[in-house]
Amino acid sequence: MRILVTGGCGFIGSAFCRYIVEQTDWYVMNLSRSTYSATNVALDSVRNSDRYCFSKGDISDLHCLTHVLRKYSPDAIVHLAGESNVDLISPQKFLESNILGTNILLEATTDYWKSLPNEKKSRFRFILVSTVEVYGAFDYLKKFKEDSPYRPSSFYAASKAASEHLVWACGVGYNLPIIITNCSNNYGPYQSTKKLIPRVITKALKGEKIPVYGKGDNIRNWLHVDDHVKALILLLKFGQPLTKYNIGTSDDLTNLDVVKRICHLLDKLVPDFSFGKREKLIEFVKDRTGHNLRSSVDWSKIHQEMNWSPKESFDSGLEKTVKWYLENERWWQLSIDREFNKSPIMV
């Protein structure tokens, strides 16, 4: 299998590239817009493999995409490139990457796919990685299913919903063999320190205040990035065209619960009595608008059809992640330098 992954320099994309090179005999090409020192390091272990290659490019560049597709001739595309900074207050960047970029990628992919010989054409898959945020907020009794209505409440979620519609329309209208996934909040190694879990770990390690939005009662579903990658691999192998899968876990936790668990873990792993228990560092700050109170997901379809279930419980995945950040201070310092630590925490 030759896989083209867009956005392979990002958090999920780099985990995907590492998995392909380290755990399969497949080939992977990473097409991504930008590389920063922190994300570069995430790909260090695969950079010299003859089954990995990188092409710096933008999914909005039709000429570049056409060239890459012809040259690399992938059997599948996993589309991860996108703007995912949920706190951007203008929709412009979401429109550019998530909607217009996806549209151009689809145009190039459809042309490429039509040119394939029949056998390769029928095996080809295009997977769009979307988010459970497209479903909006939910009540406390049910979880989102694949056919739950789209009710986005942020520009990010609206743009991801729009990209899903474009991808689905390509599948229905032009027979492109597409699959859409809606996954919950990912966490794991090499995640930007702008995101909740790495930010809390690094703040708590430095003995700095840990800001928590509102009362910390927003509930999120947490998925270890390696479990997510394994689900994508299964879909590449067995997923049927024109299908949609939720990917999540049974771990629905309030943000405050997540923050407290990190503090307790660090107290156990790196006791530091200079500032007492790390929970004391928690500071409640004004909440943001447009963020769902609860976001939970029913992933029984992928479980039943693909026999997928997450290997990590939140506690085991969190412990591994905290230990990874403890062992990789040089990496998270790079990530902090890049973000200048001025931006708010993203969940």
- Count of residues making up the chain: 347
23-52 residues in contact with ligand NAD (CB under 6 A) are 32-34
Q: Starting from the edge strand earliest in sequence, which strands make up the sheet with 185-187, in order?
A: 185-187, 219-224, 252-254
Nearer to ligand NAD, 189 or 278 (CB): 189
**Does 346 engage in binding with ligand NAD (CB under 6 A)?**
no
Q: Which stretch binds ligand NAD (CB under 6 A): 9-17, 119-127, 230-238, 281-289?
A: 9-17
Position 335, amino acid: S
**Does 312 engage in binding with ligand NAD (CB under 6 A)?**
no
| Shortest separation between residue 332's beta carbon and ligand NAD, angstroms | 14
Total residues contacting ligand NAD by CB under 6 A comes to 26
Q: Which residues of 69-96 are buried (b: 16+ CB within 10 A; e: fewer)?
A: beebebbbbbbbbbbbebebeebebbbb
**Does 221 engage in binding with ligand NAD (CB under 6 A)?**
no
Secondary structure (3-state) at 323: helix
Cα(136)–Cα(41) distance, rounded to whole angstroms? 34
Among 28, 69, 77, 80, binds ligand NAD (CB under 6 A): 80
| Shortest separation between residue 81's beta carbon and ligand NAD, angstroms | 4
Tell me the per-residue interface mask from 100 to 139 with ligand NAD, x by CB under 6 A, - otherwise: -x---------------------------x-x--------
Cα(53)–Cα(144) distance, rounded to whole angstroms? 37
Nearer to ligand NAD, 4 or 12 (CB): 12
Position 307, amino acid: N
**Does 11 engage in binding with ligand NAD (CB under 6 A)?**
yes
Beta strands in the chain (DSSP E): 2-6, 27-32, 52-56, 76-79, 125-131, 178-183, 185-187, 210-213, 219-224, 243-247, 252-254, 282-285
Are the C-beta atoms of residues 259 and 210 closer than 8 Å to each other? yes
Among 3, 4, 5, 10, binds ligand NAD (CB under 6 A): 10
| Tokens 């205040």, located at residue | 209
| Shortest separation between residue 194's beta carbon and ligand NAD, angstroms | 9
- The token pair that represents 5 in the structure block: 């992954």
Where do contacts with ligand NAD occur on this chain (CB under 6 A)?
Answer: 6-7, 9-13, 32-34, 58-60, 80-84, 97, 101, 129, 131, 160, 183, 185-186
